[in-house]
Amino acid sequence: MDKLLFRRVLLLSLCALLVTAPIFRSVKANGIIYIRADGTVDGTNKIHRDGNVYTFTDDIFDSIVVEKDDVAVDGAGYGLQGTGIGTGINLMGRTNVTVKNIEISDFFYGIYLNSSLNNSLSSNNVRGNFCGIYLSASSNNTIIGSNITKNDSSGVWFRGSSNNDITENRIIENGQDGIWLSSFSDNNEVLGNIIRTNGYGIRLDDYSNNMLRNNDLRDNGCNFGVFGSLLPEFIQDIDESNTVNGKPIYYWVNMQDVTVPFDAGYVALVNCSGITVKNLNLSSNGQGLLLANTTESSIIQNNITNNIHGIYLCGSSNNTVTWNNITKNLANGIYLYYSQNNTFFHNNFISNTNPVYDVGASSNIWDSGVEGNHWSNYEDKYPNATELDSSGIWNIRSRWKQPRQLSTSKSVHNSRVSIMDHSAIILDCNFVCFNHQKEAISSTFIRNLTFYLTNQAEMWIVN
């Protein structure tokens, strides 16, 4: 057999052997390792004890329950991997435990604290769990210098946990929240974190007095939002060093008679009065604009789009919202929670899932007495509406004094429309409005806005 033929036969034989040979994989354990209260370690020989320091010597494929206080668990760069269930490191009831330098993946909870005090979680990689780090009824703990990434729900979730620090972490690509502080989690400090491409960047629910500084929120589905129903739940310490997509968060508490700067990325007005919010682009947040217990403020000529709620009013009254584009918000264009006597007119409500949602049957005003709003869902909401005598005026008005809609299929230039307690949407035209005595009331250029005329008048449309 010549050398070439021999090599071909040998190669074919090796290929056949590789095809038929069994595949051996490492067997992953699925037990629980205990660091006992007396200091002993049960369930593995891959943790070396030196006094109160417990150091990994290899990757571990089990959960760890720490039953001893005042210890350090050092992964030394090794991994702790699960099977999608259970808890990576359980610190329930523990005090003064340090967990560091561990890559924790594929558990339901990566790190779990319940009724735990004064613990430090530092320089860990917590990824691919259902929830990265979960704290319940725990206080004075620190999460610092860690990568918390690609967890299915929240990267960091506090529930009823106070006086904790979340500092200088990279919190990226978590399916739900980057950081979620919920259910009576107050007086926490969130400092210097990079929070990107999560479903929600930072969400604060139902409690107060958390301090945020120098957090960079960018490219999250919703970057930032604060939710509650009572004034104390909105009292937070959040300054302009926090940014959304490179633009400052203006979270103002107890301010009066000032104008929000034009570079705002998120605006909250809490217990404020006389504030002007004008010419801003507010998008990709829990609320484009939050008003809590705020009065006598003006919201003018803003683009408020692609938020969960466009404008969120809680316990707020006597504010004016006019000339805004409120579009493509995922839940509501306007959310009202026991908010009274606010006036909305000259706004475009376009392609919001729900234009207005009202809790508490609030009494608000949806026109200026002369002019109203544009509602893109008018024909869907009123499919039986009909046009009056080919006038471009439609015959049904909503409970929000929604306007009768001028047909967009007809040219309205150089035409005259007689109005008797009617309203109309006029598209891209100049108009002059006269009273019954032919005296000019107003003249301006308008674009895709609605006008609601409560008194007998004539309106001329001119090029």
Closest CA to 121 of 136, 108, 134: 134
Query: What pLDDT is stored for residue 451 in this prediction?
Result: 34
Query: What pLDDT is stored for residue 58 in this prediction?
Result: 98
Closest CA to 103 of 90, 118, 88: 88
Residue carrying structure tokens 């392609």: 351
Domain assignment present for residue 21? The answer is no
Domain assignment present for residue 232? The answer is no
Domain assignment present for residue 225? The answer is no
- Give the domain-ending residue among 365, 388, 413: 365
Does the CA dihedral 101-141-184-354 come out positive or negative? Answer: negative
Which of the four pLDDT bands, split at 50, 70 and 90, describes residue 380? confident
pLDDT tens digits, one per residue of 6-54: 333 333 333 333 333 333 334 355 689 999 999 999 999 999 999 999 9
Distances in Å between the Cα of 97 and the Cα atoms of 72, 100, 105, 122 are 6, 10, 20, 11
Closest CA to 153 of 185, 178, 190: 178
Q: Are 351 and 376 in contact (CB under 8 A)?
A: yes
Domain assignment present for residue 17? The answer is no
Residue type, 86: G
Which of the four pLDDT bands, split at 50, 70 and 90, describes residue 420? very low
Counted domains in the chain: 3
Query: How many Å apart are CA 72 and CA 74, to the nearest integer?
Result: 6
Note whether 319 and 265 are same-domain residues.
yes
Residue carrying structure tokens 């606010």: 342
Q: Are 224 and 210 in contact (CB under 8 A)?
A: no
Edge-to-edge strand ranges of the sheet holding 156-159: 41-42, 32-35, 63-66, 87-90, 109-114, 131-136, 156-159, 177-182, 200-205, 222-227
Note whether 278 and 397 are same-domain residues.
no
Domain assignment present for residue 387? The answer is yes
What are the two backbone dihedrals, phi and then psi, of residue 261, each rounded to the nearest 5 degrees?
Answer: -60, 150
CATH classification of the domain holding 210: 2.160.20.10
pLDDT higher than 60, residue 2: no
Query: How many Å apart are CA 348 and CA 421, to the nearest integer?
Result: 21
CB-based burial label for 72 (10 Å; 0-12, 13-18, 19+): middle
C-beta atoms surrounding 231 within 10 Å? 15
Lowest-pLDDT range of 79-93, 338-352, 376-390, 420-434: 420-434
CB-based burial label for 105 (10 Å; 0-12, 13-18, 19+): buried
Q: What percent of the chain has pLDDT over 90?
A: 70
Domain assignment present for residue 425? The answer is yes
Mean pLDDT (the chain, rounded): 82
Considering the entire predicted model, what is its pTM?
0.79
- Residues across the chain: 463
Note whether 83 and 182 are same-domain residues.
yes
Residue carrying structure tokens 């069994």: 22
Query: What pLDDT is stored for residue 228 in this prediction?
Result: 93
Query: What pLDDT is stored for residue 395 in this prediction?
Result: 55
Domain assignment present for residue 229? The answer is no
* Domain of residue 417, residue span: 375-462
Beta strand 200-205 pairing with 325-327: unpaired
- Give the domain-ending residue among 365, 389, 421: 365
Note whether 253 and 304 are same-domain residues.
yes
Which of the four pLDDT bands, split at 50, 70 and 90, describes residue 191? very high
pLDDT higher than 60, residue 456: no
Mean pLDDT of 377-397: 62
Q: Are 363 and 392 in contact (CB under 8 A)?
A: no
Q: How many helices (H) and strands (E) does the chain have?
A: 2, 49
- Give the domain-ending residue among 365, 399, 425: 365
Which of the four pLDDT bands, split at 50, 70 and 90, describes residue 405? very low
What are the two backbone dihedrals, phi and then psi, of residue 381, each rounded to the nearest 5 degrees?
Answer: -75, -30
**Chain centroid, CA 397 distance in Å:** 34
Note whether 183 and 318 are same-domain residues.
no
Mean pLDDT of 171-193: 97
Note whether 70 and 198 are same-domain residues.
yes
Note whether 297 and 415 are same-domain residues.
no
Note whether 404 and 446 are same-domain residues.
yes
Note whether 44 and 152 are same-domain residues.
yes
37 Cβ neighbours under 8 A, 6+ residues apart = 67, 68
422 Cβ neighbours under 8 A, 6+ residues apart = 388, 393, 404, 453
Note whether 39 and 129 are same-domain residues.
yes
Q: Are 197 and 216 in contact (CB under 8 A)?
A: no
Closest CA to 105 of 85, 82, 124: 82
Which of the four pLDDT bands, split at 50, 70 and 90, describes residue 459? very low
pLDDT higher than 80, residue 439: no
Q: What percent of the chain has pLDDT over 70?
A: 76
Note whether 196 and 64 are same-domain residues.
yes
Note whether 379 and 264 are same-domain residues.
no
Query: How many Å apart are CA 204 and CA 218, to the nearest integer?
Result: 17
Query: What pLDDT is stored for residue 390 in this prediction?
Result: 55
Domain assignment present for residue 230? The answer is no
- Core vs surface per residue 379-405: b (16+ CB within 10 A) or e: eeebeeeeeeeebbbbeebbebbbbbb
